[in-house]
Amino acid sequence: MITLASDFGTPYPAAMKGAILRRCDVRLVDIAHDFPRQDVTAAAFWLTQVLPEFPPAVHLVVVDPGVGTDRSALVVRAGEHVLVGPDNGVLCPPARALAGAGGIEAYEIAAENPRSATFHGRDVFAPAAASVHGVAPDRLPELDPLSPAGEIVDLAFPDPEIDPDRAVGTVLVVDGFGNVVTNVPGGILDGRETVEIDGKRRPVVPSYAHADPGTPVVTVGSHGNVECAVNRGRGEEAFGLAPGDTVRIGFE
């Protein structure tokens, strides 16, 4: 199985699929191709959430604003999974989530003279994903092991500050419903009926529909973090929050 994720929209992902399918017969599963364009952090967050749902697979990830520069092209083994994509940090958080006890090993793809300088998804990463499907990376001559693994570009989500009376976090992403996903662990809401978000008191609910339609609420999202939402409405509008914003959560 090869999963595909990108910020490409269409029809570029189909070119990657063709490039894979003419090399091997494999199941393809789309993760998303509408990640915020060139936003490595948002893509890394979503992949960290979604890829661990999958059985062992090759995950092709192309959010690649540096395509055609000297950034490396990587294959990363993470436990029983393999990630393929650019060396810009987008692979690291999902690799840690996938590795389990199996560890992480990184390889550089030796791609000489790719067909284009602007579409390595088709010309470098898709062929590498097809090659590594069903084959251990250390058996592929076109992959050069990196040592130490720490050489690849990493990306860390910001850490929240958590005090006895408040938490200060960051908005990681806003989902398609307008739900504002923060980096603050949901556990801080345990046993609370309300919290203050940026100075305004809001009800804490187990899920959206526990408040009347239109009510701004605070809940624990499916990722386990604090989420600011509106039942049948859009949290990012009601809370005035966008990705990257600081969010202050005050307790009693």
251 binds a copy of itself (CB under 8 A): no
Phi, psi at 204, each rounded to 5°: -95, 125
Least separation in angstroms between residue 99's CB and a copy of itself is: 17
Q: What is the largest CA-CA distance in the chain?
A: 61
CB within 8 A of 46, min separation 6: which ones?
Answer: 5, 31, 32, 35, 173
- Contacts to a copy of itself from residues 177-196, by CB under 8 A: 177
Give the one residue of 134, 148, 164, 176 binding a copy of itself; rule: CB under 8 A. Answer: 176
On whether the CB atoms of residues 98 and 41 are closer than 8 A, the answer is no
Torsion sign across C-alpha atoms 22, 85, 182, 80: positive
**Does position 65 bind a copy of itself by CB under 8 A?**
yes
The identity of residue 154, as a single letter, is: D
Residues in contact with a copy of itself, total (CB under 8 A)?
61
Per-residue binding string, a copy of itself, 109-138, x by CB under 8 A, is: ------xxxxx--xx---------------
Closest distance to a copy of itself from the beta carbon of 69 (Å):
5
CB-wise, 164 or 176, nearer to a copy of itself?
176
Give buried/exposed letters for 85-120 (b at 16+ CB in 10 A, else e).
Answer: bbbbbbbbbbbebbbeeeebbbbbbebeebeeeebb
Please report, as ranges, the residues that interact with a copy of itself according to CB under 8 A: 1, 3, 5, 8-12, 14-15, 17-19, 21-22, 28-35, 37-38, 46, 49-55, 65-69, 115-119, 122-123, 175-177, 206-210, 219-222, 224, 227, 231-232
